[in-house]
Amino acid sequence: MSHGAAEPLMTWVDGESQSSVSILDRGLQYGDGVFETIACRRGCLRFVAQHVARLQQGCERLQIAFDAHRKLTAELERASRLAPPVAIIKVIVTRGDALARGYGSVGRESPRRIVTMWPDAPLPESLRAQGAAVRFGQLRLARNPRLAGIKHLNRLEQVLARAEWHDAGTFESLLTDSEGHLVSGTMSNVFALKGQTLVTPPVDQCGVAGVLRAVVLREAAHFRLEPSIAPVSVQRLLNADAVFLTNARIGVLPVSRLGGRTIPIDARTRALAAHVEQLDA
Amino acid sequence: MSHGAAEPLMTWVDGESQSSVSILDRGLQYGDGVFETIACRRGCLRFVAQHVARLQQGCERLQIAFDAHRKLTAELERASRLAPPVAIIKVIVTRGDALARGYGSVGRESPRRIVTMWPDAPLPESLRAQGAAVRFGQLRLARNPRLAGIKHLNRLEQVLARAEWHDAGTFESLLTDSEGHLVSGTMSNVFALKGQTLVTPPVDQCGVAGVLRAVVLREAAHFRLEPSIAPVSVQRLLNADAVFLTNARIGVLPVSRLGGRTIPIDARTRALAAHVEQLDA
């Protein structure tokens, strides 16, 4: 399933209205950069501080000397003022143009920021109400702690994993790593609720530390849930009281079908979803 | 060490002289593509058929419907006619512009080919004569058989591994995978010679199946060497009669320092290097 429109409403490169970049950009040459996908609702950038903070963490991990946060934040504000009621704003920061051939950075590159704003549609109410059908993916995520957690531009695993299914009725695919540990969906984090425990797998070997994942872990206490980052086996997932997905676009989305089996939707998932929906930071 | 000039002499996008691409290109968005680095010597494209074949294999693995081989080959020929005596031609093929948001391909993307031609300099004769100093890298390569072997655009591991050292006297860094198996250098394959056996590690979990690696494996018999693709421990490497590196730019390059230890340069390495140097297919 692709989502949203085929083309962005607006594109900026380093603050200028522009829709192309140099072929020498290391983002294109090597995937040498990071990105964020920010939901914009009625002009409000949801969890924008958290997104910008994660972008910065990613840049630091990759030793990209990005220091234009104020400019970026101003551009995001500008984009939000021009956005339709439901929109997605994607930010890419790359190391900038290659100043020489080869993988090595000369250290003087100028990081480039690319902002695109896309019209979006709310998730269908029926999907929120009835829950998502989720499959188990075949591709195993590779383990690399140096790249785990951040939202970098090396996303071929997600591209390949997303190519495994075409039926529109399946919303997401859950992926395990090369050692068989559950990690996340192709574009979302996954949580299991069992008793009072709300657990999501660690993302220190692969996967992305989602902004909504962090929000849910933070907000769990409001629902007397004990948040836990711990290994989740497929069996544990199938035996959970409830399972849900999170990302910036979907918020908290209950899962009702898992690898062909029906799983219940817990009232606490709905409460958590509604709670997160009205948060804005 | 960066190599070569800071800017390409010429750039083509889909056959047109052009130096930029859409920010929607999935090569930039996700690293969704492959590349080749082809050495051009006095107008001759070295091992061009093998490079184009590997590019095609990579596209097939990623399900990129690239069918413009004839156009690409014609462009490579054109580039070679315009090239200085020592040049590098880099080809990138991406899945093309994203036709919707998200990782999923809609299947109708138009793959894009990007050709850049760079002036290069021959490797210093002293380096060829005295051999390269090589270190052991800290970064562990992630294992993913779905991406192993092909030369895809997800190269953050190589970028990070190349950032581990800055002294110009070190030519390359040898990398192990997350299970400790030796794989390759950041930009080259590695061979160990012991007795009559010429061994290089498998690249079925990570690493790139280099064009020059295949050439050396094929040509080994001319030197009464038994080529072998097999695990190579660091200890085995240190105990080898000789160690050398291969890639399109360096050909066969002897190693004389390995993690601070001196290792001999075998006469057979020099003979193999000279032999490969005069091959053109």
Report chain B's mean pLDDT, rounded to a whole number. 96
pLDDT band at A5; cut points 50, 70, 90: low
Q: Are B255 and B132 in contact (CB under 8 A)?
A: yes
A11 has which bridge partners? A116
What is the spatial distance between Cα B243 and Cα B266, in angstroms, rounded to a whole number?
8
Smallest Cα distance from A90 to chain B, Å:
10
* A contacts of B152 (beta carbons < 8 Å): 156
Q: Taking the domain A10-119, which CATH number applies?
A: 3.30.470.10
Q: Which one, of B257, B254, B232, lies nearest residue B243 by Cα?
A: B254
User: What does the buried/exposed string (b/e) look like for B162-177 if buried means 16 or more CB atoms within 10 Å of the residue's CB?
Assistant: bbebeeeeebbbbbbb
Residue A3 has pLDDT above 80, yes or no: no
CA distance B64 to A272: 40
Q: What percent of chain A has pLDDT over 90?
A: 95
Strands A182-185 and A172-177: antiparallel
Residues of B in contact with A146 (CB under 8 A): 139-140, 157, 160
In this complex, the residue of B23, B29, B152 whose CB is nearest that of residue A11 is B23
**Is pLDDT of B121 > 90?**
yes
Q: Answer yes or no: do A21 and B19 touch at CB < 8 A.
A: no
pLDDT tens per residue across span B226-269: 999 999 999 999 999 999 999 999 999 999 999 999 999 999 99
Share of chain A above pLDDT 70, in %: 98
- pLDDT, tens digit (0-9, with 9 covering 90-100), for A63-78: 999 999 999 999 999 9
Give mean pLDDT, residues A3-23.
90
Q: What is the pLDDT of residue B6?
A: 75
Residue contact B146–A139, C-beta within 8 A: yes
Please state, in angstroms and as integers, the Cα–Cα distance from residue B95 to each residue in B59, B61, B155, following that order: 9, 12, 16
The whole-number pLDDT of residue B4 equals: 54
Instruction: Answer for the pair B47, B211: CB distance below 8 angstroms, yes or no.
Output: yes
H/E stretch holding A28? helix A26-30
Sheet with A112-119, side-by-side order of all strands:
A16-17, A10-13, A112-119, A86-94, A33-41, A44-45
What is residue B2's predicted lDDT score, i.e. its pLDDT?
Answer: 45
Neighboring chain B residues of A154 at a CB cutoff of 8 Å: 30-31, 154-156
Q: Return the pLDDT at A1.
A: 40
At the top level of CATH, which class does the domain A125-278 belong to?
A: alpha beta
Residues of chain A neighbouring B156 (CB-CB closer than 8 A): 30-32, 62, 147, 152-154
Entry pTM? 0.96
The predicted pLDDT at position A213 comes to 98
pLDDT tier for residue B3 given thresholds of 50, 70 and 90: low
CB contact under 8 A, B13 and A2: no
- Rounded to two decimals, the ipTM of the complex is 0.96
- pLDDT beyond 70 at A142: yes
Q: pLDDT tens digits, residue range B5-45?
A: 678 999 999 999 999 999 999 999 999 999 999 999 999 99
In chain A, % helix, strand, coil (3-state, to 5) comes to 25, 35, 40
Closest CB to B22: pick one of A19, A26, A99.
Answer: A19
Residue A6's pLDDT band (boundaries 50, 70, 90)? confident
Q: What average pLDDT does chain A have?
A: 96
pLDDT at A106: 87
User: Is B246:B184 a contact under the CB 8 Å cutoff?
Assistant: no
Q: Which of B20, B142, B158 sits opposite A143 (nearest CB)?
A: B142
Same CATH topology for B10-119 and B125-278: the answer is: no
Which tens digit of pLDDT belongs to each residue from B132-180? 999 999 999 999 999 999 999 999 999 999 999 999 999 999 999 999 9
Tens digit of pLDDT for each residue in A30-88? 999 999 999 999 999 999 999 999 999 999 999 999 999 999 999 999 999 999 999 99
Using pLDDT thresholds of 50, 70 and 90, give the confidence band for residue A2. Answer: very low
Q: In chain B, where are the structural domains located? A: 10-119, 125-278
Percentage of residues in chain B with pLDDT exceeding 90? Answer: 95
